[in-house]
Amino acid sequence: MRTIEEVLEAGWPARYVHPEWREVHPWLAQGTTAAGDDCDLRLFGELPSNRVLMRWERLREVTAAEEVVHSRQVHGGRVLRHGTAGASGIRLAGEADGHVTAVPGILLTVAVADCVPISIVDPTTRSIGLLHAGWRGLVAGIVERGVESLMEAGSRPDDLYVHAGPSICGQCYEVGAEVHEALGLSDPGGPQPVDLARVVGERAGNAGVLAERMTRSAHCTRCGPQWFYSHRAGADGRQVGYLVVRADRRAP
């Protein structure tokens, strides 16, 4: 999969967006928020919730979304489909690590701090999916389930675009041999780094996504000059990957 460099979009909360998708899929708002002053979006923590909810509300506004959907994430393979928009605001859905929808105005979100936020886009059906993937989620089949969920709604895998957003890079994420084994990789004989985004690309490719339609972020949440929350680096905060079919750019 090709490496691209997300660009910082003006405004608050700070967020990085896919520069090509912004041009190719203008009917979408896609990106990952960054770390920074007043940018922590961790919902299930100990921050004063009114501050955090204000940031989420702001993210909803800047993406022109009507409703935000978020879940408590459990490093599993469950993907939820959102078929109708609810009231304006934030909806906490059941425990899940993935979301799909074709409804304009529903902002799909996943919280990350080293794990991979994966955006899946079908410009033909104007359907989208957003996944949260660490090694456990990859083992649980979250990538395959995400692609399947879109296919169940009429997508063809070779129509899909997949992007692995800012996450911990293949040099920073050292894990034990048991993780390599669980991911189906060869036994390194001891702790060695794993490149999660590369595994994402392999899984998506096996599910039928075309290599030329897959990209991965150049930004590492741990070692890059860009500022992201990194669990491995000791951060408690969370950034948010987001994806929405813009309600203000309906198909003609």
Residues 6+ apart with CB under 8 A from 249: 26, 27
Q: Which residues contact 120 (CB under 8 A, 6 or more apart)?
A: 100, 128, 129, 130, 131, 146, 147, 150, 160, 161, 162
Render the burial of 124-161: b for 16+ CB within 10 Å, e for the rest. eebbbbbbbbbbbbbbbbbbbbbbbbbbebebebebbb
# chain residues binding Zn ion, by CB under 5 A: 5
Q: How far is the CB of 222 from Zn ion (least distance, A)?
A: 5
Shortest Å, Cβ 224 to Zn ion: 6
Say whether residue 223 binds Zn ion (CB under 5 A): yes
Query: What span, in angstroms and rounded, lies between the C-alpha atoms of 177 and 236?
Result: 26
Q: Is 211 or 218 the residue whose CB approaches Zn ion more closely?
A: 218
Length of the chain: 252
Q: Which is nearer to Zn ion, 200 or 220 (CB)?
A: 220
By the rule CB under 5 A, 172 interacts with Zn ion: yes
Q: Which one, 126 or 232, has the nearer CB to Zn ion?
A: 232
By CB under 5 A, name the one of 220, 235, 243, 247 that touches Zn ion: 220
How many C-beta atoms lie closer than 10 Å to residue 123's C-beta?
15
CB of residue 211 vs Zn ion: minimum separation in angstroms? 23
Q: Give, as one character, the DSSP assignment of residue 231.
A: T
Q: Least separation, in Å, of the C-beta of 221 and Zn ion?
A: 7
| Nearest to Zn ion of 207, 220 (CB atom) | 220
Work out which of 222, 235, 238, 245 binds Zn ion, going by CB under 5 A.
222
Q: Which residue among 68, 79, 100, 169 contacts Zn ion (CB under 5 A)? A: 169
Task: Indicate the residue type of 46.
Answer: E
For Zn ion, the closer CB: 211 or 223: 223
- Complex with Zn ion: residue 43 or 179, whichever CB lies closer: 179
For CA atoms 153, 156, 158, 159, the dihedral sign is negative
Q: Which residues bind Zn ion (CB under 5 A)?
A: 169, 172, 220, 222-223
